[in-house]
Amino acid sequence: MANTLYDALFQRYQGQESAFITLPDGAVLSHGAFVGMAAQFAYVLGHLGLQPGDRLAVQIAKSPQALAVYAACVQAGVIFLPLNTAYTAAEVAYFVENSGAKLLICDSANASTLLPVAQAAGAQLEVLNGNGTGSFADLAAGQPKEFATVPRQPDDLAAFLYTSGTTGRSKGAMLTHANLLSNAEVLADSWQFSDQDVLLHALPIFHTHGLFVATNICLLSGAQMLFYPSFDVQAILRDMPRATTMMGVPTFYTRLLDQPEFTAQLASGMRLFISGSAPLLAETHVQFEQRTGHRILERYGMTETNMNTSNPYTGERRAGTVGFPLPGVELKITSPDTGDTLPQGQIGQIEVRGPNVFKGYWQMPEKTREELRENGFFITGDLGMIDADGYVHIVGRGKDLIISGGYNIYPKEIEELLDEQPGVLESAVIGVPHPDFGETPVGVLARQKGATPDEAAILQALSTQLARFKHPRRLVVVDELPRNTMGKVQKNILRDTYKNLFA
């Protein structure tokens, strides 16, 4: 019987000597060797007692072996749960307990801390280090390099990804084989990936961007990956002449632009730069195009859906937008109050429907009913609008909406003006408690290197461009904005930091 995801991504590579992963030291892992390693790992899962449908949690460094654990789970019918390597033991404890994981794999440096976590949740603990060593690898040594693939249907679960959990407990998004495969197929086609491509892969693989977008596309298309443990700008510059594509978060691109040796000549062999996981500043768009002649392609996705929209591969890639809904994805803007579809150009909540949309939240039926409508539309929690040309604009998260004196204020509108001011690198506008207005906007400004933004002059400039109720009541200048591992500004931290400004 068939295994939807394994058959499409891995099966055809059995015994193939084509290059798949090249490491920074020049070592090359073939497709066949990778699939063989995954088969050995799949045997270990069975020997440890994991059955199809069981969960396996990993908090391990990025490596080919870490990626092979994902492939082994797909082949063995086990649900894969990757965890951010920055999570504390207390956070890991929640994920392991909530998911009911039967096995936790971690780095040896964290084994003593996480052993009690695993034991408390009734899970086994094994070790897999970034260099491929550890008890899990030891168990796999000598196992056959072919494994009888477990049948899995399109609607069977392939992975859990937990949301970032900025408000309340993280939710486990249940992703099926069809969710992951359909999205990879659409993206590989939309971005014109082929076996001639070489991807600069410096993203983490505990997140949908580096795992289910970058890796699945490469497996589906036959593309190679230059595989880095983390973003090393000098390594990327060294290897760029060997590559054709790159996927990154905005920070990758700003760091490249900081390097004088990053030139149009260096990027001449590249055909595509893709950015996501956080908004790209318009200034970065402009500088990148001026420097290299390439216009970065922005897209929009999330944990529960993988990718929803993309700027076109051929056609205008419009800065400040995330392009158009991907083939097969329906996207609409609705009223948060009534759920009615809003006219083009109006701001509302973004809802999406398609084969990419997850099955629901693990053990949270109420949350699933709140956010996943019976007609299949998922309420993303993002605010946006569709412009006259059909491009989708992300205005912010619904929870970031500021209601001051009864007026709705969208932070993005103010941030775009603040970002243009002298000395300002980027900004974040948040709502903080206010005795008269309920809450009021405050602008947090990250300064450009060596600059001191003139707060009074900035407020004066904004006074002529915004209605009075939208004026930030205070500006705060900082060296940098707090971000999570994927580059998103953590407004929840800013709101907590400045909550007593007007107390």
DSSP string for 426-445:
EEEEEEEEETTTEEEEEEEE
- What lies within 8 Å, CB to CB, of 49 at 6+ separation is 102, 124
Nearest to 352 by CA among 316, 300, 317: 300
pTM: 0.87
Fold topology of 401-497? GMP Synthetase; Chain A, domain 3 (3.30.300)
Three state DSSP letters for 400-428 = HCEEECCEEECHHHHHHHHHCCCCEEEEE
Predicted local distance difference test score (pLDDT) of residue 230: 93
> Which residues of the chain form CATH 3.30.300.30?
401-497
Nearest to 373 by CA among 395, 393, 357, 396: 357
The CATH code for residues 4-15+30-153 is: 3.40.50.980
For each of the chain's 503 residues, which pLDDT tens digit applies?
799 999 999 999 999 999 999 999 999 999 999 999 999 999 999 999 999 999 999 999 999 999 999 999 999 999 999 998 988 898 899 999 999 999 999 999 999 999 999 999 999 999 999 999 999 999 999 999 999 999 999 999 999 999 865 445 789 999 999 999 999 999 999 999 999 999 999 999 998 999 999 999 999 999 999 999 999 999 999 999 999 999 998 889 989 999 999 999 999 999 999 998 877 888 889 999 999 999 999 999 999 999 999 999 999 999 989 999 999 999 999 998 899 999 999 999 999 999 999 999 999 999 999 999 999 999 999 999 999 999 999 988 778 888 887 777 878 889 989 999 999 999 999 999 887 777 899 999 999 989 999 999 999 999 888 878 889 999 999 999 998 877 788 998 999 999 999 87
Residue 11 CB coordination number (10 Å): 14
Residue 371 CB coordination number (10 Å): 19
CA distances from 482 to 111, 422, 426, 489 (A): 29, 21, 12, 6
> Which residues of the chain form CATH 3.40.50.980?
4-15+30-153
